[in-house]
Amino acid sequence: MNHFITYSTVRATDVFIPANFPEIDKEIGMIKAQVKGPGNADQCAVMISYFKDHSIRADLVRSQAAFVKIILSMTTCRYIEGLFNASKGNERFRNGFENYLSVKLAE
């Protein structure tokens, strides 16, 4: 059984519009509450890689160990994972979504 939310609304021609997915901001807020400050580029890479592919590069695991621990403990990011899963066939949507996640974590 999948632990993420299933989206069926991402079509091949869709672009990521944050207002259409308000749950994403809530989940980013939960991550940011534990980070205590703006995220850096490596933390963004960890977050995106984990929620997108359930993998994290070994060098990032070493250099961002505390953040990796936070991400791995996040059992409530079902919307982020679900949106990555639903957008597998739409690279433009995924790029916009990844950019949005990076900007929001870095704020």
Query: What pLDDT, in 10s, does the model give residues 83-95?
Result: 999 999 899 999 9
Query: pLDDT per residue over 66-75, tens digit each?
Result: 999 999 988 7
**Which amino acid type is present at position 16?**
F
**Block residue for tokens 């949106």:** 83
- Maximum distance among all alpha carbons in the chain? 38
**Domain map of the chain by residue range?**
20-106
CA atoms within 13 Å, Cβ hemisphere of 96: 16
Q: Is the pLDDT reported for residue 20 higher than 70?
A: yes
Residue 43 makes CB contacts below 8 A (sequence gap 6+) with 35, 64, 67, 105
Q: How much is the pLDDT for 37?
A: 80
What confidence tier does 1 reach under pLDDT thresholds 50, 70, 90? very low
Three-state SS letters, the chain: CCCCCCCCCCCCCCCCCHHHCHHHHHHHHHHHHHHCCCCCHHHHHHHHHHHHHCCCCHHHHHHCHHHHHHHHHCCCCHHHHHHHHHCCCCHHHHHHHHHHHHHHHHC
Query: Taking the model in full, what pTM does it have?
Result: 0.87
